[in-house]
Amino acid sequence: MKLYWTRGTCVLAVLIALEDAGASYDSYHVAFKDREQRGAAFLKLNPKGRVPALETDRGILTEVPAILAYIAQTYPDADLAPLDDAFAMGEIHAFNAYLCATVHVAHAHRVRGERWADETSSHEDMQRKVPETMAACFDLIEKEMLRGPWVMGDRYTICDGYLFTICQWLEGDSVDIARFPKIEAHAKRMAARPATQKAVTFWSP
């Protein structure tokens, strides 16, 4: 496998899962500062022009939830998901989809405003809203979704590295993680894991 990645992005969740699984993989750093993600070579690989992208022996996979599920299924001995329980797997997909489709998008309004509007004043308005929307997302996770000690309860899954990854953006989004005691404790548990530490060292901006 080959992972196309960029520092500081949601690719951290994939790196953690690969380390958890003990997977062997190569990596290629996509230089966003040079807009390499919009270059012809990368767009041929991933027309979305985004990371992560995981090259497998059957083709390219994109989108964090899909890649995490692929890793869990490819390395079943790592026990990263309840592969024999359809409902429990559905819960994992639901949580990861929320992070991808709602929380990540809320964060992106601070740093990727050009995706939704052309006027600078519109970007500024979106940026002002981000602390509120991100806090609301994490309030819901704190109260209704994080079972503890891990996202799905006693069992560590591919949800945990993903939540930890999104937490890395809170400070930049002007949200104090201390507002969410369960999430803060989860982040500390994640940070203590060797797989997380190795991934973070590789990924940190």
* Pairing of β 26-29 and β 2-5: parallel
Angle at 170 between CA 169 and CA 172, to 5 degrees: 70
Domain final residue pick, 18, 47, 78? 78
2, 60 contact by CB (below 8 A): no
3, 11 contact by CB (below 8 A): yes
For the chain, the distance separating the N- and C-terminal CA atoms, rounded to the nearest angstrom, is: 23
Domain final residue pick, 53, 78, 103? 78
- C-alpha 173/C-alpha 105 separation (Å) is 12
**What is the token pair recorded at 118?**
């052309």
Domain span at 15: 2-78
Question: What's the sign of the alpha-carbon dihedral 158, 60, 34, 123?
Answer: negative
Could you read off the pLDDT tens digit of each residue along the chain, which spans 205 residues? 999 998 889 999 999 999 999 999 999 989 877 787 888 988 998 998 889 999 999 999 999 999 999 999 999 999 999 999 999 999 999 999 999 999 999 998 887 777 777 888 888 888 999 999 999 999 999 999 999 999 999 999 999 999 999 999 999 999 999 999 999 999 999 999 999 999 999 887 6
pTM score, whole prediction: 0.94
Residues 96 and 197 in one domain: yes
pLDDT at 205: 66
Per DSSP, 30 falls in state: -
**CATH code of 199's domain:** 1.20.1050.10
Residues 118 and 171 in one domain: yes
Residues 114 and 62 in one domain: no
